[in-house]
Amino acid sequence: MKRGTRIAVAAALLLTLGGPAVAEIDVLRRAPELIQAVDANDVAKVRTLLLSGTPPNATDLNGRTALVIAARDGRTPIVRELLHFGAQPNQADSIGNTPLFWAADTGDADVVRALLDGKANPNRANRQGITPLMAAARDGNLPAVEALLAGGANPQLRDFTGRSALGWAETSRSRAVAARLRKAGLSD
């Protein structure tokens, strides 16, 4: 639900219900604050907002959740806080990428492990059929590849063009990643 819609709904509640809707408006107003706190890498502010009832799956105007932003930016402590307060680890952004995809794409193995610990699906593909393992392999991020394989990523999956993680690693000329994927039993 977009911010403007949320505010309209909260205003309608205020008119019909009175007092309790005021609290709802306050919670909705704090959602952008959560995004700002994540952007600022302010773990204490994130925790305070979540403790005060701010929804952990709040999105920015581009449809990115706080968890997507934290994962993309390599903010492991914030990722852990958001997951602890119920952020959905498999909620994709408006272009179809999950927090785990972004962590793998940026090669942040610590964030990858935190998301996997939080029950992120290592095999969820984006709209192009690209999995987090393929993204990490494409970019030659061996630590992220290792973390994903340890977390249950299936190296046999293929994207919509028929390319596997090994195919992505070979295209990017990442010998170390290609060797690791072959060791995992993958051949192209």
Domain that holds residue 160: 122-188
Predicted model pTM: 0.82
Question: Mind listing the pLDDT tens digit for each residue in 60-107?
Answer: 888 899 999 999 999 999 999 999 999 999 999 999 999 999 999 999
Is 9 a domain residue? no
Q: Tell me whether residue 77 is exposed, middle or buried, using C-beta atoms within 10 angstroms of its C-beta: 0 to 12, 13 to 18, 19 or more.
A: middle
CATH number, domain of 178, equals 1.25.40.20
Q: Cβ neighbours of residue 10 under 8 Å, at least 6 residues apart?
A: 21, 24, 25, 28
Statement: residue 30 has pLDDT above 60? no
- What value does the mean pLDDT of the chain take? 87
Question: Mind listing the pLDDT tens digit for each residue in 32-42?
Answer: 899 999 999 99
Number of domains, the chain: 1
